[in-house]
Amino acid sequence: MSTILQPIHTELFYSDSRGPELVTFHWKLNGSILEGAEFMLPDATKDDDLRHVRFLRPQVTMITPEEVIDYRVMSSERLEHRPAAMFNLGRSDWLLKFTPHHLGKCSHFQLYFYDELLDIIAEDVTFGVGSLKTETK
């Protein structure tokens, strides 16, 4: 199956070279589920510029450090979508390798932070300003 690369939320999560700077990940259930991430956009100038992304009903997470990302296999298609740093890969081959019981409404999202690549299977993503923990619900 071929993965369709769809840039998303380009106005909220973008790159000037390698992506926003990851500030921290937020985990729940004793560190077993990634709830979200706080980050600074490339043009952020002060601590008040903190942003966050929340993952809705996350199921699978893979974090790859920049040092081991093989940029040779990153398609030119990703480069064509600059400044996009977040992609929806839909029902990717990676997603389809898992048991589908809880994944019917999920997509494979890929986020390019400055020093990390995050692959996450979740139902959706939302964004906010400030700390993830101080967000009003």
The mean pLDDT of 28-56, rounded to a whole number, is 93
**Per-domain residue ranges for the chain?**
6-129
SS (H, E, C) 64-108: EEHHHCCHHHCCHHHHHCCCECEEECCCCHHHHCCCHHHCCCCEE
What's the pLDDT band for 24 if we cut at 50, 70, 90?
very high
Euclidean distance between CA atoms 25 and 79, whole angstroms: 26
- CB burial of 107-123 (b: ≥16 within 10 Å; e: otherwise) equals bbbbbbbbebbbbbbbb
The string of pLDDT tens digits covering residues 74-132 is 656 667 788 999 999 999 999 999 998 889 999 999 999 999 999 999 999 999 999 99
3-class DSSP state for residue 48?
helix
In the predicted model, what is the mean pLDDT of the chain?
89
pLDDT at res. 35: 97
Q: Model pTM?
A: 0.89
| Stretch (H or E) spanning 38 | strand 33-40
Euclidean distance between CA atoms 78 and 137, whole angstroms: 34
pLDDT at res. 43: 92
Euclidean distance between CA atoms 57 and 106, whole angstroms: 8
Out of 4-13, 42-51, 74-83, 98-107, which region has the weakest mean confidence (pLDDT)? 74-83
